[in-house]
Amino acid sequence: MINEVLARIQSGLPGACVELVNNPSPSGQHSLLVNPKDALAVAGFLRDDPELLFDFASNVSGVDWPPKKVKETIVRKETVDGAEKEIKETVERDVPGCLEVVYHLYSVARKTGPLTLRMRTADRGSNVALPSLTPVWKSADFQEREVYDLFGIRFEGHPDLRRILMWDEYADHPMRKDYVAPDDFEYEPTPHDEILERVKARAATPGEDA
């Protein structure tokens, strides 16, 4: 199904930057990776095109992919002492991290789905932004707020982007993989008992901010 959807987008929206992301799982739910600058147009097309009609944005979730090192084996040919040899080398390559938003779309009218749509940020900084798809699907409203709250992705064009589950004064984004829980969750920190011990222990650890 996903290939037909991709072909349909490419014929309907020439120039839109959409690529197929393969899913090795037995679920077979492959996804479409959309360039953020084309996302709103693609989303509108998916919703309104009479052959697609993905009118129901069911699920919106954030995913954090921290930077990682991938080991790769590279084979290169070299001439050593006149004889050509194959030399295998293990090279560590840095894969930059990103934050991802995944939309699961269904068509109520045509009873098809799920279509998985993804967008990626350029990096994992504290001020990353992606276009909001709430103008296309109202159902993304609270869910994008949740992704903003827990992952720290700003959604540009969102009508009411505020924290939803954590309180407004909270500074961090708990669903990021490198999140460290605070010593005390209370609004006005009042360390006591074992929490006080933890605060002391952390303050004593060199090279780490208390």
Partner 1 sequence: MSQLPADITIGGFSDANTLDVSLGPQHPSTHGVFRMNVTLEGETVVKLKPVFGYLHRNHEKIAEGNSYLAAMPYTDRLDYICPLTNNWAYAVAVEKLAGLEVAERAEYIRVIVGELTRLQNHTAFLGFILGDMGAWGTALMYAFREREKILDLFEALTGARMMCNYMRFGGCRCDLPPGWIEGARKIVDNFPAFLDEMEALLTGNEILLARLQGVAPLSGARAINGGMSGPVLRASGVDYDIRKADAYGVYSRFKFRVPRGEVGDCYDRFMLRVLEARESVAILKQAIDGLPGGPVINPKAKLRGFRPPAGEAYGRIESPKGELGFYVISDGSDRPYRFRIRPPSLINLTLLEELCVGTKIADVMVILGSIDIVLGEVDR
- For partner 1, the binding residues in 28-67 under the rule CB under 8 A are 29, 55-59, 61, 63-64
> Which member of 5, 43, 99, 141 binds partner 1 (CB under 8 A)?
141
Cβ-based neighbours of 102, under 8 Å, separated by 6 or more: 31, 59, 60, 61, 62, 63, 116, 117, 118
Count of chain residues binding partner 1 (CB under 8 A): 37
Of 2-10, 87-95, 139-147, 196-204: span binding partner 1 (CB under 8 A) = 139-147
- For partner 1, the binding residues in 87-126 under the rule CB under 8 A are 102, 104, 106, 108, 111, 114, 116
Write b or e for each residue in 100-109: b if 16 or more Cβ atoms lie within 10 A of its Cβ, otherwise e. Answer: bbebbbbbee
> Which member of 7, 17, 87, 165 binds partner 1 (CB under 8 A)?
165
Structure-token pair, residue 184: 């005390």
187 contacts partner 1 (rule: CB under 8 A): no
For tokens 């901010």, what's the residue? 209
CA neighbor of 151 nearest in space, from 187, 194, 121: 121
Q: Which is nearer to partner 1, 163 or 198 (CB)?
A: 163
For tokens 């984004």, what's the residue? 173
Q: Which is nearer to partner 1, 86 or 188 (CB)?
A: 188
For tokens 């961090």, what's the residue? 172
Q: Degrees (nearest 5) of the Cα angle 169, 165, 175?
A: 90
Q: Which is nearer to partner 1, 48 or 203 (CB)?
A: 48
Of 10-18, 79-87, 121-129, 134-142: span binding partner 1 (CB under 8 A) = 134-142
- Measured in residues, the chain has a length of 210
CA neighbor of 153 nearest in space, from 141, 164, 166, 144: 144
* Cβ 120 to partner 1 shortest distance, Å: 14
The footprint of partner 1 (CB under 8 A) covers 23-27, 29, 55-59, 61, 63-64, 102, 104, 106, 108, 111, 114, 116, 137-143, 150, 162, 164-168, 174-175
